[in-house]
Structure 1
Amino acid sequence: MSGNIKLLSDTLAKTRSEDRAALIAYLPAGFPTVDGGIAAVKAVLAGGADVVEIGLPHSDPVLDGPVIQTADDIALRGGVKIADVMRTVREAYEATGAPVLVMTYWNPIDRYGIERFTTELAAAGGAGCILPDLPVQESAQWRKHADALGLATVFVVAPSSQDERLRTITAVGSGFVYAASLMGVTGTRVSVGEQAQDLVRRTRATTDLPVCVGLGVSNAVQAEEVAGFADGVIVGSAFVKLILDAPDEAAGLAAVRSLAAELAEGVRRNN
Protein backbone atom coordinates (compact mmCIF):
# COMPACT_ATOMS: atom_id res chain seq x y z
CA MET A 1 0.00 0.00 0.00
CA SER A 2 1.34 3.42 -0.91
CA GLY A 3 1.16 6.45 1.34
CA ASN A 4 -1.41 9.17 1.28
CA ILE A 5 0.42 12.28 0.08
CA LYS A 6 -2.31 12.74 -2.55
CA LEU A 7 -4.97 12.70 0.17
CA LEU A 8 -3.01 15.38 2.04
CA SER A 9 -2.60 17.51 -1.08
CA ASP A 10 -6.27 17.10 -2.02
CA THR A 11 -7.37 18.04 1.50
CA LEU A 12 -5.28 21.22 1.48
CA ALA A 13 -6.50 22.05 -2.03
CA LYS A 14 -10.10 21.59 -0.85
CA THR A 15 -9.69 23.95 2.11
CA ARG A 16 -8.09 26.50 -0.21
CA SER A 17 -11.02 26.16 -2.63
CA GLU A 18 -13.30 26.91 0.33
CA ASP A 19 -11.26 30.09 0.88
CA ARG A 20 -10.11 29.05 4.32
CA ALA A 21 -7.12 27.64 6.12
CA ALA A 22 -6.88 23.99 7.10
CA LEU A 23 -6.96 23.09 10.79
CA ILE A 24 -4.08 20.73 11.60
CA ALA A 25 -4.02 19.13 15.04
CA TYR A 26 -1.01 17.60 16.79
CA LEU A 27 -1.16 14.91 19.47
CA PRO A 28 1.56 12.55 20.73
CA ALA A 29 1.09 8.81 20.31
CA GLY A 30 0.76 6.87 23.54
CA PHE A 31 -0.61 9.81 25.51
CA PRO A 32 -2.18 9.40 27.98
CA THR A 33 -2.14 5.74 26.87
CA VAL A 34 -1.96 4.19 23.41
CA ASP A 35 -5.73 3.61 23.32
CA GLY A 36 -6.38 7.00 24.90
CA GLY A 37 -4.17 8.69 22.33
CA ILE A 38 -6.03 7.04 19.46
CA ALA A 39 -9.33 8.17 20.97
CA ALA A 40 -7.98 11.72 21.29
CA VAL A 41 -6.95 11.81 17.63
CA LYS A 42 -10.39 10.64 16.58
CA ALA A 43 -11.94 13.29 18.85
CA VAL A 44 -10.05 16.21 17.29
CA LEU A 45 -10.93 14.99 13.82
CA ALA A 46 -14.58 14.61 14.84
CA GLY A 47 -14.45 18.14 16.22
CA GLY A 48 -13.38 19.60 12.90
CA ALA A 49 -9.63 19.15 12.33
CA ASP A 50 -8.78 18.55 8.66
CA VAL A 51 -5.39 16.92 9.16
CA VAL A 52 -3.68 15.37 12.17
CA GLU A 53 -0.03 15.02 13.14
CA ILE A 54 0.93 12.11 15.41
CA GLY A 55 3.97 12.88 17.53
CA LEU A 56 6.53 10.14 18.04
CA PRO A 57 7.52 10.63 21.69
CA HIS A 58 11.20 11.37 22.19
CA SER A 59 13.34 11.44 25.30
CA ASP A 60 14.92 14.77 24.33
CA PRO A 61 12.29 16.80 22.44
CA VAL A 62 14.45 19.92 22.11
CA LEU A 63 11.95 21.90 20.03
CA ASP A 64 8.97 21.15 22.25
CA GLY A 65 7.84 23.15 25.24
CA PRO A 66 7.02 21.83 28.73
CA VAL A 67 3.48 20.70 27.90
CA ILE A 68 4.50 18.36 25.09
CA GLN A 69 7.62 17.31 27.00
CA THR A 70 5.38 16.21 29.86
CA ALA A 71 3.11 14.27 27.50
CA ASP A 72 6.10 12.61 25.82
CA ASP A 73 7.43 11.59 29.23
CA ILE A 74 4.09 10.02 30.16
CA ALA A 75 3.98 8.13 26.85
CA LEU A 76 7.57 6.89 27.18
CA ARG A 77 7.05 5.77 30.77
CA GLY A 78 3.98 3.93 29.50
CA GLY A 79 6.24 2.00 27.15
CA VAL A 80 5.14 3.49 23.81
CA LYS A 81 6.95 2.01 20.81
CA ILE A 82 7.12 2.86 17.11
CA ALA A 83 4.65 0.03 16.52
CA ASP A 84 2.17 1.96 18.69
CA VAL A 85 2.75 5.09 16.61
CA MET A 86 1.99 3.12 13.44
CA ARG A 87 -1.11 1.64 15.06
CA THR A 88 -2.28 5.14 15.99
CA VAL A 89 -1.81 6.29 12.39
CA ARG A 90 -3.61 3.24 11.01
CA GLU A 91 -6.61 3.41 13.34
CA ALA A 92 -7.02 7.17 12.95
CA TYR A 93 -6.86 6.94 9.17
CA GLU A 94 -9.14 3.91 8.88
CA ALA A 95 -11.73 5.45 11.22
CA THR A 96 -11.82 8.91 9.65
CA GLY A 97 -10.25 8.88 6.19
CA ALA A 98 -8.34 12.03 7.12
CA PRO A 99 -4.68 12.65 6.26
CA VAL A 100 -2.45 11.51 9.15
CA LEU A 101 1.22 12.42 9.39
CA VAL A 102 3.93 11.53 11.88
CA MET A 103 6.03 14.27 13.43
CA THR A 104 9.34 12.96 14.69
CA TYR A 105 12.91 13.80 15.42
CA TRP A 106 15.39 12.07 13.17
CA ASN A 107 17.18 9.84 15.67
CA PRO A 108 14.33 7.31 16.17
CA ILE A 109 14.01 6.84 12.39
CA ASP A 110 17.76 6.52 11.96
CA ARG A 111 17.86 3.78 14.59
CA TYR A 112 14.73 2.03 13.31
CA GLY A 113 15.81 2.12 9.66
CA ILE A 114 14.56 4.43 6.93
CA GLU A 115 13.21 1.68 4.68
CA ARG A 116 11.45 -0.08 7.54
CA PHE A 117 9.93 3.14 8.89
CA THR A 118 8.67 4.44 5.54
CA THR A 119 7.31 1.04 4.52
CA GLU A 120 5.37 0.68 7.77
CA LEU A 121 4.08 4.26 7.65
CA ALA A 122 2.81 3.84 4.09
CA ALA A 123 1.22 0.49 4.98
CA ALA A 124 -0.59 2.19 7.88
CA GLY A 125 -2.10 4.75 5.50
CA GLY A 126 0.13 7.60 6.64
CA ALA A 127 0.37 10.73 4.52
CA GLY A 128 3.96 11.56 5.37
CA CYS A 129 6.40 12.82 7.96
CA ILE A 130 7.33 16.16 9.50
CA LEU A 131 11.04 16.13 10.27
CA PRO A 132 12.02 19.24 12.26
CA ASP A 133 15.67 18.37 12.83
CA LEU A 134 16.65 16.57 9.60
CA PRO A 135 18.99 18.85 7.59
CA VAL A 136 17.84 19.14 3.99
CA GLN A 137 21.34 18.38 2.74
CA GLU A 138 21.25 15.04 4.59
CA SER A 139 17.72 14.06 3.55
CA ALA A 140 18.26 12.44 0.13
CA GLN A 141 18.06 8.85 1.37
CA TRP A 142 14.88 9.56 3.35
CA ARG A 143 13.27 11.37 0.42
CA LYS A 144 14.12 8.56 -1.99
CA HIS A 145 12.17 6.05 0.11
CA ALA A 146 9.38 8.48 1.01
CA ASP A 147 8.81 9.55 -2.59
CA ALA A 148 8.74 5.95 -3.80
CA LEU A 149 6.03 5.13 -1.25
CA GLY A 150 3.87 8.22 -1.72
CA LEU A 151 4.79 9.90 1.56
CA ALA A 152 5.18 13.65 2.04
CA THR A 153 8.39 15.06 3.49
CA VAL A 154 7.52 18.19 5.42
CA PHE A 155 10.39 20.42 6.47
CA VAL A 156 10.25 23.19 9.07
CA VAL A 157 11.23 26.79 8.38
CA ALA A 158 11.73 29.47 11.01
CA PRO A 159 11.83 33.27 11.15
CA SER A 160 15.63 33.03 11.22
CA SER A 161 15.68 31.20 7.86
CA GLN A 162 17.25 33.38 5.19
CA ASP A 163 15.57 33.56 1.77
CA GLU A 164 18.24 31.39 0.13
CA ARG A 165 17.76 28.79 2.86
CA LEU A 166 13.99 28.88 2.31
CA ARG A 167 14.49 28.19 -1.39
CA THR A 168 16.73 25.22 -0.60
CA ILE A 169 14.19 23.75 1.82
CA THR A 170 11.06 24.27 -0.27
CA ALA A 171 12.71 22.92 -3.42
CA VAL A 172 12.83 19.41 -1.96
CA GLY A 173 9.94 19.37 0.53
CA SER A 174 6.49 18.01 -0.29
CA GLY A 175 2.97 18.09 1.14
CA PHE A 176 3.30 21.49 2.80
CA VAL A 177 5.85 23.69 4.51
CA TYR A 178 5.71 23.91 8.31
CA ALA A 179 6.38 27.52 9.31
CA ALA A 180 7.40 27.88 12.95
CA SER A 181 5.87 31.22 13.87
CA LEU A 182 8.32 32.10 16.63
CA MET A 183 11.87 31.29 17.57
CA GLY A 184 12.18 28.91 20.47
CA VAL A 185 10.15 25.97 21.72
CA THR A 186 6.53 25.09 21.11
CA GLY A 187 3.73 26.18 23.40
CA THR A 188 0.71 28.42 23.48
CA ARG A 189 1.35 32.14 23.12
CA VAL A 190 -0.53 35.34 23.85
CA SER A 191 -0.01 36.44 20.25
CA VAL A 192 1.44 34.71 17.23
CA GLY A 193 2.78 38.05 16.01
CA GLU A 194 3.99 39.61 12.79
CA GLN A 195 7.01 37.31 12.48
CA ALA A 196 4.77 34.51 11.31
CA GLN A 197 3.12 36.62 8.62
CA ASP A 198 6.49 37.74 7.28
CA LEU A 199 7.79 34.17 7.27
CA VAL A 200 4.75 32.95 5.33
CA ARG A 201 5.18 35.77 2.79
CA ARG A 202 8.87 34.97 2.27
CA THR A 203 8.23 31.21 2.08
CA ARG A 204 5.44 31.59 -0.46
CA ALA A 205 7.82 33.55 -2.68
CA THR A 206 9.86 30.34 -3.07
CA THR A 207 7.18 27.66 -3.54
CA ASP A 208 3.66 26.72 -4.56
CA LEU A 209 3.38 24.35 -1.60
CA PRO A 210 0.85 25.31 1.09
CA VAL A 211 2.45 27.09 4.06
CA CYS A 212 1.05 26.08 7.44
CA VAL A 213 1.86 27.89 10.68
CA GLY A 214 2.49 26.22 14.01
CA LEU A 215 3.81 27.06 17.46
CA GLY A 216 1.50 29.19 19.53
CA VAL A 217 -2.15 28.99 18.48
CA SER A 218 -4.51 28.07 21.32
CA ASN A 219 -7.90 29.67 20.65
CA ALA A 220 -10.31 30.68 17.88
CA VAL A 221 -9.16 34.31 17.83
CA GLN A 222 -5.56 33.28 17.16
CA ALA A 223 -6.71 30.67 14.65
CA GLU A 224 -8.63 33.35 12.78
CA GLU A 225 -5.57 35.63 12.83
CA VAL A 226 -3.26 32.98 11.37
CA ALA A 227 -5.90 31.78 8.89
CA GLY A 228 -5.86 35.30 7.47
CA PHE A 229 -2.39 34.77 6.01
CA ALA A 230 -1.52 31.04 6.12
CA ASP A 231 -2.81 27.94 4.33
CA GLY A 232 -3.02 25.94 7.54
CA VAL A 233 -3.16 26.52 11.29
CA ILE A 234 -1.30 23.94 13.39
CA VAL A 235 -2.35 23.45 17.02
CA GLY A 236 -0.65 21.08 19.45
CA SER A 237 0.13 22.24 22.98
CA ALA A 238 -3.39 23.56 23.56
CA PHE A 239 -4.87 20.10 22.89
CA VAL A 240 -2.25 18.33 24.96
CA LYS A 241 -2.77 20.68 27.92
CA LEU A 242 -6.50 19.94 27.95
CA ILE A 243 -5.79 16.22 28.28
CA LEU A 244 -3.15 16.81 30.96
CA ASP A 245 -5.56 18.98 32.97
CA ALA A 246 -8.64 16.77 32.55
CA PRO A 247 -9.90 14.86 35.62
CA ASP A 248 -10.46 11.73 33.54
CA GLU A 249 -10.16 10.45 29.98
CA ALA A 250 -13.78 11.15 29.03
CA ALA A 251 -13.46 14.77 30.12
CA GLY A 252 -10.22 15.12 28.16
CA LEU A 253 -11.79 13.75 24.99
CA ALA A 254 -14.77 16.09 25.33
CA ALA A 255 -12.44 19.03 25.87
CA VAL A 256 -10.25 18.40 22.82
CA ARG A 257 -13.28 17.81 20.61
CA SER A 258 -14.77 21.09 21.83
CA LEU A 259 -11.53 23.02 21.21
CA ALA A 260 -11.25 21.50 17.73
CA ALA A 261 -14.78 22.72 16.96
CA GLU A 262 -13.91 26.20 18.26
CA LEU A 263 -10.72 26.35 16.20
CA ALA A 264 -12.50 24.99 13.11
CA GLU A 265 -14.93 27.87 13.43
CA GLY A 266 -12.00 30.29 13.82
CA VAL A 267 -10.28 29.22 10.59
CA ARG A 268 -13.55 29.76 8.73
CA ARG A 269 -14.29 33.29 9.92
CA ASN A 270 -12.32 34.94 7.13
CA ASN A 271 -14.15 33.33 4.25
Structure 2
Amino acid sequence: MTTRIETRFAELKRQRRAAFVAYVMCGDPDIETSLAIIKALPSAGADVIEVGLPFTDPMADGPSIQAAGLRALKAGTTLKKTLNVVRRFREGDDVTPIVLMGYYNPIYIHGVDRFLIDAKAAGVDGLILVDMPPEEDNELCIPALKAGLNFIRLATPTTDDKRLPAVLANTSGFVYYVSITGITGSATADSAKVSQAVSRIKRHTELPVCVGFGIRNPEAARAIAEHSDGVAVGTALVDAIRDSLDAESRATPRTVSAVADLVATLAAGVRGARQAAE
Protein backbone atom coordinates (compact mmCIF):
# COMPACT_ATOMS: atom_id res chain seq x y z
CA MET A 1 0.00 0.00 0.00
CA THR A 2 1.31 3.42 -0.99
CA THR A 3 1.69 5.91 1.88
CA ARG A 4 0.82 9.59 1.76
CA ILE A 5 4.55 10.35 1.87
CA GLU A 6 5.26 8.24 -1.21
CA THR A 7 2.27 9.73 -3.03
CA ARG A 8 3.36 13.27 -2.24
CA PHE A 9 6.96 12.78 -3.43
CA ALA A 10 5.72 11.11 -6.61
CA GLU A 11 3.53 14.18 -7.28
CA LEU A 12 6.43 16.53 -6.64
CA LYS A 13 8.70 14.54 -8.94
CA ARG A 14 6.16 14.98 -11.72
CA GLN A 15 6.06 18.70 -10.94
CA ARG A 16 9.87 18.78 -10.97
CA ARG A 17 10.16 20.59 -7.67
CA ALA A 18 11.46 19.93 -4.20
CA ALA A 19 9.27 19.45 -1.13
CA PHE A 20 9.07 21.94 1.68
CA VAL A 21 9.03 20.02 4.96
CA ALA A 22 7.91 21.99 8.02
CA TYR A 23 8.71 20.93 11.59
CA VAL A 24 6.86 22.15 14.68
CA MET A 25 6.80 20.80 18.22
CA CYS A 26 3.42 19.41 19.17
CA GLY A 27 1.93 21.27 22.14
CA ASP A 28 4.08 24.39 21.73
CA PRO A 29 2.97 26.66 23.33
CA ASP A 30 -0.26 24.72 24.05
CA ILE A 31 -2.29 21.98 22.41
CA GLU A 32 -4.97 24.14 20.77
CA THR A 33 -2.53 26.69 19.35
CA SER A 34 -0.29 23.88 18.15
CA LEU A 35 -3.20 22.27 16.32
CA ALA A 36 -4.09 25.62 14.73
CA ILE A 37 -0.49 26.03 13.55
CA ILE A 38 -0.37 22.52 12.07
CA LYS A 39 -3.70 23.10 10.31
CA ALA A 40 -2.32 26.32 8.79
CA LEU A 41 0.85 24.73 7.39
CA PRO A 42 -0.44 23.05 4.19
CA SER A 43 -2.12 26.17 2.78
CA ALA A 44 0.99 28.17 3.69
CA GLY A 45 3.10 25.88 1.52
CA ALA A 46 4.18 22.86 3.57
CA ASP A 47 4.24 19.66 1.51
CA VAL A 48 5.11 17.42 4.47
CA ILE A 49 4.66 18.16 8.19
CA GLU A 50 6.99 16.87 10.87
CA VAL A 51 5.31 16.90 14.27
CA GLY A 52 7.77 16.92 17.15
CA LEU A 53 7.13 14.56 20.04
CA PRO A 54 8.22 16.40 23.20
CA PHE A 55 10.76 14.58 25.33
CA THR A 56 12.72 15.50 28.47
CA ASP A 57 16.15 14.57 27.05
CA PRO A 58 16.27 15.65 23.37
CA MET A 59 19.96 14.99 22.71
CA ALA A 60 20.00 15.95 19.01
CA ASP A 61 18.13 19.23 19.46
CA GLY A 62 19.55 22.69 19.95
CA PRO A 63 18.36 25.26 22.50
CA SER A 64 15.37 26.46 20.44
CA ILE A 65 13.76 23.04 19.98
CA GLN A 66 14.70 22.00 23.52
CA ALA A 67 12.86 25.07 24.80
CA ALA A 68 9.87 24.27 22.57
CA GLY A 69 9.77 20.77 24.02
CA LEU A 70 9.83 22.14 27.55
CA ARG A 71 6.98 24.55 26.75
CA ALA A 72 5.02 21.63 25.31
CA LEU A 73 5.68 19.41 28.34
CA LYS A 74 4.72 22.25 30.67
CA ALA A 75 1.44 22.53 28.74
CA GLY A 76 0.80 18.85 29.48
CA THR A 77 1.59 17.43 26.05
CA THR A 78 1.95 13.64 25.95
CA LEU A 79 2.30 11.03 23.23
CA LYS A 80 -1.41 10.28 23.51
CA LYS A 81 -2.30 13.97 23.14
CA THR A 82 0.09 14.30 20.19
CA LEU A 83 -1.68 11.46 18.39
CA ASN A 84 -4.99 13.15 19.14
CA VAL A 85 -3.71 16.36 17.52
CA VAL A 86 -2.88 14.35 14.39
CA ARG A 87 -6.32 12.74 14.52
CA ARG A 88 -8.01 16.15 14.72
CA PHE A 89 -5.84 17.47 11.87
CA ARG A 90 -6.94 14.51 9.73
CA GLU A 91 -10.59 15.51 10.14
CA GLY A 92 -9.93 18.35 7.69
CA ASP A 93 -6.90 17.10 5.73
CA ASP A 94 -6.53 13.54 4.51
CA VAL A 95 -3.67 14.12 2.05
CA THR A 96 -0.82 16.03 3.71
CA PRO A 97 1.80 13.59 5.03
CA ILE A 98 2.46 13.67 8.79
CA VAL A 99 5.74 12.42 10.22
CA LEU A 100 6.27 12.04 13.96
CA MET A 101 9.80 13.10 14.89
CA GLY A 102 11.38 12.46 18.25
CA TYR A 103 12.89 9.83 20.50
CA TYR A 104 12.09 6.23 21.30
CA ASN A 105 11.46 6.46 25.05
CA PRO A 106 7.83 7.75 24.91
CA ILE A 107 6.99 5.05 22.34
CA TYR A 108 8.63 2.34 24.43
CA ILE A 109 6.60 3.40 27.47
CA HIS A 110 3.40 3.48 25.39
CA GLY A 111 4.22 0.00 24.04
CA VAL A 112 5.39 -0.55 20.46
CA ASP A 113 2.46 -2.65 19.26
CA ARG A 114 -0.10 -0.36 20.81
CA PHE A 115 1.73 2.73 19.51
CA LEU A 116 1.76 1.48 15.92
CA ILE A 117 -1.96 0.71 16.03
CA ASP A 118 -2.75 4.10 17.59
CA ALA A 119 -0.43 6.05 15.26
CA LYS A 120 -1.85 4.42 12.16
CA ALA A 121 -5.40 5.02 13.35
CA ALA A 122 -4.63 8.68 14.08
CA GLY A 123 -3.30 9.26 10.56
CA VAL A 124 0.46 9.25 11.09
CA ASP A 125 2.39 8.34 7.93
CA GLY A 126 5.99 8.04 9.04
CA LEU A 127 8.48 8.11 11.89
CA ILE A 128 11.84 9.80 12.41
CA LEU A 129 13.50 8.63 15.61
CA VAL A 130 16.98 9.99 16.04
CA ASP A 131 18.06 7.47 18.68
CA MET A 132 17.15 4.23 16.86
CA PRO A 133 20.17 2.97 14.87
CA PRO A 134 19.88 0.26 12.18
CA GLU A 135 21.20 -2.31 14.66
CA GLU A 136 17.88 -1.94 16.52
CA ASP A 137 15.61 -2.29 13.48
CA ASN A 138 13.71 -5.24 14.94
CA GLU A 139 12.67 -3.09 17.91
CA LEU A 140 10.52 -0.61 15.99
CA CYS A 141 11.60 -0.08 12.38
CA ILE A 142 10.55 -3.48 10.99
CA PRO A 143 7.24 -3.55 12.92
CA ALA A 144 6.51 0.01 11.71
CA LEU A 145 7.10 -0.96 8.10
CA LYS A 146 4.83 -3.98 8.50
CA ALA A 147 2.16 -1.67 9.95
CA GLY A 148 2.30 0.53 6.84
CA LEU A 149 4.31 3.41 8.28
CA ASN A 150 7.40 4.82 6.62
CA PHE A 151 10.53 4.67 8.76
CA ILE A 152 12.74 7.59 7.78
CA ARG A 153 16.39 7.36 8.63
CA LEU A 154 18.89 10.15 9.18
CA ALA A 155 22.17 10.30 7.25
CA THR A 156 24.84 12.78 8.37
CA PRO A 157 28.13 14.22 7.08
CA THR A 158 29.90 11.47 9.03
CA THR A 159 27.87 8.62 7.45
CA ASP A 160 30.47 7.19 5.07
CA ASP A 161 29.96 4.81 2.15
CA LYS A 162 30.67 1.83 4.37
CA ARG A 163 27.94 2.80 6.84
CA LEU A 164 25.39 4.14 4.35
CA PRO A 165 23.98 0.76 3.15
CA ALA A 166 23.12 -0.18 6.74
CA VAL A 167 21.42 3.18 7.29
CA LEU A 168 19.41 2.82 4.09
CA ALA A 169 18.55 -0.89 4.41
CA ASN A 170 15.06 -0.47 5.89
CA THR A 171 14.54 3.23 5.25
CA SER A 172 11.38 4.19 3.37
CA GLY A 173 9.49 7.34 2.37
CA PHE A 174 12.57 9.52 2.12
CA VAL A 175 16.08 9.89 3.50
CA TYR A 176 16.67 12.81 5.87
CA TYR A 177 20.16 14.23 5.32
CA VAL A 178 21.43 16.24 8.29
CA SER A 179 23.46 18.96 6.58
CA ILE A 180 25.65 19.90 9.54
CA THR A 181 27.61 18.11 12.22
CA GLY A 182 25.99 18.99 15.54
CA ILE A 183 22.64 19.87 17.01
CA THR A 184 19.70 21.62 15.37
CA GLY A 185 20.05 25.34 14.85
CA SER A 186 23.79 25.34 15.51
CA ALA A 187 25.19 26.20 12.06
CA THR A 188 24.29 27.10 8.48
CA ALA A 189 24.05 24.54 5.70
CA ASP A 190 26.66 24.75 2.92
CA SER A 191 24.85 24.15 -0.40
CA ALA A 192 28.01 22.99 -2.22
CA LYS A 193 28.75 20.35 0.41
CA VAL A 194 25.08 19.38 0.52
CA SER A 195 25.06 18.86 -3.26
CA GLN A 196 28.01 16.46 -3.02
CA ALA A 197 26.46 14.60 -0.11
CA VAL A 198 23.05 14.21 -1.78
CA SER A 199 24.70 12.91 -4.95
CA ARG A 200 26.63 10.36 -2.91
CA ILE A 201 23.50 9.17 -1.08
CA LYS A 202 21.59 8.88 -4.35
CA ARG A 203 24.20 6.46 -5.64
CA HIS A 204 22.95 4.09 -2.92
CA THR A 205 19.17 4.62 -3.04
CA GLU A 206 16.19 5.48 -5.23
CA LEU A 207 14.49 7.27 -2.34
CA PRO A 208 14.03 11.06 -2.27
CA VAL A 209 16.64 12.88 -0.19
CA CYS A 210 15.49 15.77 1.99
CA VAL A 211 17.94 18.09 3.68
CA GLY A 212 17.47 19.60 7.13
CA PHE A 213 19.37 21.47 9.88
CA GLY A 214 20.92 24.88 9.22
CA ILE A 215 18.26 26.33 6.87
CA ARG A 216 16.64 29.51 8.14
CA ASN A 217 15.70 31.80 5.24
CA PRO A 218 14.24 31.65 1.68
CA GLU A 219 17.66 32.12 0.05
CA ALA A 220 19.15 29.15 1.90
CA ALA A 221 16.02 27.08 1.22
CA ARG A 222 16.24 27.84 -2.49
CA ALA A 223 19.95 26.98 -2.65
CA ILE A 224 19.43 23.63 -0.91
CA ALA A 225 16.32 22.83 -2.98
CA GLU A 226 18.36 23.04 -6.18
CA HIS A 227 20.40 20.04 -5.00
CA SER A 228 17.85 17.90 -3.16
CA ASP A 229 14.33 16.49 -3.22
CA GLY A 230 13.20 18.41 -0.16
CA VAL A 231 14.11 21.10 2.34
CA ALA A 232 13.23 20.66 6.03
CA VAL A 233 13.04 23.65 8.37
CA GLY A 234 12.42 23.41 12.10
CA THR A 235 14.40 25.78 14.29
CA ALA A 236 13.39 28.89 12.35
CA LEU A 237 9.70 27.98 12.70
CA VAL A 238 10.06 27.16 16.39
CA ASP A 239 11.80 30.52 16.87
CA ALA A 240 8.90 32.26 15.11
CA ILE A 241 6.53 30.68 17.63
CA ARG A 242 8.74 31.71 20.55
CA ASP A 243 9.06 35.29 19.32
CA SER A 244 5.26 35.62 19.04
CA LEU A 245 4.56 34.61 22.65
CA ASP A 246 3.83 36.95 25.53
CA ALA A 247 6.03 37.42 28.60
CA GLU A 248 4.55 34.26 30.18
CA SER A 249 5.25 32.19 27.02
CA ARG A 250 1.57 32.07 26.13
CA ALA A 251 0.15 32.29 22.62
CA THR A 252 -0.89 35.67 21.24
CA PRO A 253 -3.10 36.58 18.26
CA ARG A 254 0.12 36.69 16.19
CA THR A 255 1.35 33.18 16.92
CA VAL A 256 -0.31 31.16 14.15
CA SER A 257 0.19 33.80 11.46
CA ALA A 258 3.86 34.29 12.43
CA VAL A 259 4.57 30.66 11.59
CA ALA A 260 2.33 30.52 8.52
CA ASP A 261 3.87 33.69 7.07
CA LEU A 262 7.40 32.35 7.51
CA VAL A 263 6.43 29.01 5.97
CA ALA A 264 5.01 30.88 2.97
CA THR A 265 8.28 32.74 2.35
CA LEU A 266 10.42 29.62 2.84
CA ALA A 267 8.16 27.52 0.61
CA ALA A 268 8.34 30.21 -2.08
CA GLY A 269 12.13 29.92 -1.95
CA VAL A 270 11.92 26.16 -2.40
CA ARG A 271 9.45 26.45 -5.27
CA GLY A 272 11.66 29.01 -7.02
CA ALA A 273 14.63 26.67 -7.03
CA ARG A 274 13.45 24.24 -9.67
CA GLN A 275 12.19 27.09 -11.87
CA ALA A 276 15.71 28.54 -11.77
CA ALA A 277 17.23 25.15 -12.53
CA GLU A 278 15.00 24.39 -15.52
TM (normalized to structure 1)? 0.94
Q: Is the 8 A contact 1:58 1:105 kept in 2?
A: yes
Q: CA deviation at 1:243?
A: 0.7
Q: How many residues align?
A: 268
- Among residues 16, 19, 33, which one is paired with 2:30 in the alignment? 33
Partner AA of 1:99 in structure 2 = P
Alignment of 1:61 with 2:58, yes or no, is yes
Partner AA of 1:76 in structure 2 = L
Mapping of residues 237-256 of structure 1, within 5 Å: 237-247=235-245, 248-256=251-259
Rate the CA distance shift 1:163–1:191 in 2: closer, same or farther, 3 A.
Answer: closer
Match of 2:216 in 1: 218
* 3-state DSSP of counterpart to 1:216: coil
Distance 1:47 1:229 in 2: 23
Partner AA of 1:256 in structure 2 = V
Rate the CA distance shift 1:179–1:115 in 2: closer, same or farther, 3 A.
Answer: same
Match of 2:248 in 1: none
Distance 1:197 1:94 in 2: 38
Q: CA deviation at 1:188?
A: 6.5
Partner AA of 2:73 in structure 1 = L
Q: CA deviation at 1:192?
A: 3.5
Mapping of residues 42-81 of structure 1, within 5 Å: 42-81=39-78
1:207-265: CA deviation from partner (whole Å, max 9, x where unpaired): 00111000011111111011001101001111110110014432121111111111111
TM (normalized to structure 2)? 0.92
Distance 1:74 1:15 in 2: 34
Q: CA deviation at 1:181?
A: 0.3
Mapping of residues 1-271 of structure 1, within 5 Å: 6-97=3-94, 98-187=96-185, 189-247=187-245, 248-269=251-272, 270-271=274-275
1:9-31: CA deviation from partner (whole Å, max 9, x where unpaired): 01011112111100010011111
Distance 1:157 1:190 in 2: 17
* 3-state DSSP of counterpart to 2:21: strand
Rate the CA distance shift 1:188–1:48 in 2: closer, same or farther, 3 A.
Answer: farther
Partner AA of 1:216 in structure 2 = G
Among all aligned residue pairs of Structure 1 and Structure 2, give the percentage whose two residues are the same amino acid: 37
